[in-house]
Every structure is written in structure tokens, then in C-alpha cells.
Amino acid sequence: MKKLFTFALMIVFGASSVFAQFINEEVKSMSQGNNNSLSIELPKANQKDVQNLWEKFTKKEMKGKSKYDRKTGEIYTESIRIADMNYNAFNMYATTEVAGAGTLLTVWIDLGGEFLNSDEDADEYKAIEKQLYAFALVVAQKQLEDQLKEEKKELKKLESDLKKLAKDKESYENEIAKAKALIAEREADIEQNMTDQDNKSLEIEAQKRVIESTSEKIGDLN
């Protein structure tokens, strides 16, 4: 399980962050006092996502019923049943907190009168440790799925940009075609205009001769 966990985190987070992601056991303060706990850091994981995923995970994988206590900030899960545990049912407390760019998940296992620790409950400790590694894989999978969604959104945007560019190109080509047609039309207009100017010049010369002839006739009358 540890090897699978490490491999999955290498895929999601990169090899540089993997070795800091193992479970830490220590006595920590919680609503029931200072008790032994297990903590695991989940890099780049959103705290709210971790909380929601944890509640779903405990219900599906541990058959427990979870409830979030806003006053204590703890997720209390009761009547947990795990195949690898010798206890028929037990309760668990969990908290999530921001840890750098990720989230730290801490759990306290209430075995009934005592809290789980690796010295006195080695087999049970390993069973819970296994569950935490399994949960880390769930978080990693959720992050990959979220990343995939964002990548698909980016792909859709890029495809939309490409369609717009293709549409712009078609518009430019149409404008160029219209411009070429107008240029050809205006070149024909210029040729016709030059012919019309030549004809008009001939008409002017002819009219000048008519005026000159009329003026001569008037002179003859005088």
C-alpha cells in the first residue's frame, strides 16, 4: 500500500514532495483532551474538498456515520467497522487544517476508554494507517480529475479560439475578394474615364471650331 501510495503521489505532486507525505503519530489536543493521533499531509489539496471527501470515505469504506461539529471543528464518526480491526465498532474524531499549499488531516481513534497508538495497538494502528493511505489516493484521484476538467476546459477554449481565428481568416479573405473586385471595377472605370475624357476633348475642340465659325460669320456681317 505504501508503495502504491508513493507512486500515486509522485504522479500527482512530483517526486520532490512524496517523502514528506507519510503518517505522523503524536499526542495532539482535541475536544476530548490531549490524545494520540495520526496525521497525514495532503499537498495541494483544498481543505474543503478534503473534509467532504473524508466524510464520504468514512461512510463508504468504514461504514461509519459522520457529523461535522462547527464548535469544535471536528468530524465525528461513530460505529466504524473495518475488516482488519479486532474491535467490533469504534468512534473517530478528525480535523482538517491548511498546511502550506495543502491540507493536514488528523484523526483520533477512540477505541473505548483509550485512543489508538502504535505501541499498544500495533495491528489496529496498521489498519488505520492503511485506511489513511487509501484516503490519500482518493484525494489524489480527485485532484487528477479536477486537473483533467481544467485541462478539458482549456482545450475547449483553445478550440474555440481556433474556430474564431478560422472565421476571422474567412472574413479577411472575403474582404480581400471584395476589395479585388472593387479594384478591378475601378480600373475599368478609369479606362472608361480616360476614353470619355478623350471623347470629351474632341467634343470641346469641335465646339471651339463651331464657336470660331459663328464668330467669323458675325464678323462678316459687320
Residue 67 lies in a domain: yes
Distance CA 104, CA 73 (A): 13
pLDDT at 6 over 60: no
Per-residue pLDDT band for 20 (boundaries 50, 70, 90) equals: very low
| Cell 474582404 sits on residue | 175
Residue 208 lies in a domain: no
Residue 11 lies in a domain: yes
Which percentage of the chain shows pLDDT scores above 70? 90
Domain that holds residue 118: 2-150
48-83 pLDDT, tens digit per residue, is 999 999 999 999 999 899 999 999 999 999 989 888
DSSP-derived secondary structure letter, 73:
T
Q: Does 39 reside within a domain?
A: yes
Q: Express each pLDDT in 81-118 by its tens digit.
A: 888 787 778 999 999 999 999 999 999 999 988 999 99
Distance, in Å, from the CA atom of 181 to the CA atom of 163, rounded to the nearest integer, reads 27
Beta carbons of 38 and 107 less than 8 angstroms apart: yes
Residues 55 and 43: their CA atoms lie apart, in Å, by 19
Q: How many domains does the chain have?
A: 1
Confirm whether 16 is domain-assigned: yes
* Residue 122, domain member (yes or no): yes
Domain-located, residue 36? yes
**What's the CATH number where 9 sits?**
3.30.530.20
pLDDT over 90 at 32, yes or no = yes
pTM of the shown model: 0.70
Q: Is 70 domain-assigned?
A: yes
Strand bridging mode 102-110 / 33-42: antiparallel
CA distance 101 to 182: 62
